[in-house]
Amino acid sequence: MGQHTGAGLAVHLKNVLDHFELTYGRVLGITTDNAPSNYSITCKRQSTLEASAIKWPALRNHITCMTHFMQLALGSFMSSLGVKGCTKSWEAHERDQQFGENDSVNIGKSQRL
C-alpha cells in the first residue's frame, strides 16, 4: 500500500468501499486511532464527496477509538508514576506461554505461531 499518508490511505479506503459496494450514504462514520494521517483520510473523504455535491462533514463523522484514547491516557498516567509496563510483544508472550521462556529465544519469523 506504500506510505501511510492521509491521501494514500483515503485512496485505499475508497477502493475498499467501492469493492464492497458501500455507497456514500451507507457510511455514517470512520473510527480510527489518533494518528494524524487518519484525520487526513476523513478530510480527503469530505472533499471528495463535496465534489459530488454530497455533504459529509469530517469533524462529525471521524470517531476516534475510545479504547486507544484510554490506553494513551493511562499509559501517560502510569509513566508519571514511574510504572513500567510489559516490554514483550504479545507474540513473544504467547511463545513463552506455549514453549517456555528459554525455548522460544531462537524461534525465527518462519516458525512463529
pLDDT tens for 3-24 read: 678 788 888 888 898 899 887 6
Percent of the chain whose pLDDT exceeds 90: 8
Instruction: Write the pLDDT tens digit of every residue in 63-81.
Output: 888 888 888 888 889 889 9
**pLDDT of 105 higher than 70:** no
Which of 69, 73, 11 has its CA nearest to residue 37? 11
Average pLDDT over residues 54-63: 90
**pLDDT of 53 higher than 80:** yes
Q: Residue 60, SS3?
A: helix
Which of 68, 6, 10 has its CA nearest to residue 40? 6
The reported pTM is: 0.56
Q: Specify whether the CB–CB gap between 62 and 42 falls below 8 A.
A: yes
Residue 107 neighbours by CB under 8 Å, 6+ apart = 95, 99
